[in-house]
Amino acid sequence: MEIIDLYKFITENKIEYHWHSEDVIMFVDCQNVKEFNDLLPATIFDDYGIECHMKDGYFCFEMAQICSYCDIDLIDIFPEA
């Protein structure tokens, strides 16, 4: 995943996110999960995959590990408010 692809996904789909300590929690609507999944490199799912939490109508992803795996700095894509 390239930083520009993640940025476009977030902005075009109006994805909500919040900083939580040293991590960012990103909230992806169920309708956008496939598109987000397609952005991720297939090797990120090796071993144990990635952890998420399913809520009513959306999934929560902790982005620090995902971004680190893709060599993306959190602050570059998720500006702190």
Locate tokens 């570059």: which residue? 76
Mean pLDDT of the chain: 92
Rounded CA separation 6/12 (Å)? 10
CA 31 to chain centre: 14
Q: Model pTM greater than 0.85? A: yes
Is the pLDDT assigned to residue 14 strictly greater than 90? Answer: yes
Q: What is the pLDDT of residue 35?
A: 96
